[in-house]
A = this chain, B = another copy of it.
Amino acid sequence: MFSFGQARQRIEEAIKGKQMLLVVGNCYVEYWGRAASKLPKGKRLLMIKGDSSSAIHQNRLLRPTNYMMNARISCEEQDNALVLSAKKLKPKESIKVFFYRVDDIQSYEMDSAADLRLFGSERELSNELMKDLSFLEEGLKPLKQEQAFRKGIADLIAEDKDGNIVVIEVKRRKADFSAVTQLQRYAKQVEKINGVKTRGILVAPEIMKNARDLLENYGLEYYSFDFEIGNPKTKIKGVQKKQPTITEFM
Contact = CB atoms under 8 A, between A and B. Distances in A.
A89 B32 CA distance: 39
A2 to B, nearest CB: 14
Contact of A114 (B36, B58, B113, B121): B58
A116 B66 contact: yes
A181 B173 contact: no
Contacts of A65: 116
Contact of A37 (B113, B118, B182): B118
Nearest to A62: B53
Contacts of A67: 62
Contacts of A22: 22, 106
Given A45-B20, A59-B20, A113-B58, A36 B118 contact: yes
Contact of A104 (B108, B116, B173, B178): B108
A229 interface: yes
Contacts of A37: 116-119
Interface in A28-85: 32, 34-40, 42-45, 47, 49-51, 53, 55, 57-62, 64-67, 69
A177 interface: yes
A84 B112 CA distance: 22
Nearest to A119: B36
A193 interface: no
A35 B116 contact: no
Given A108-B24, A113-B58, A113-B59, A119 B35 contact: yes
A103 interface: yes
3 nearest CB pairs, A to B: A59-B110, A35-B120, A181-B181
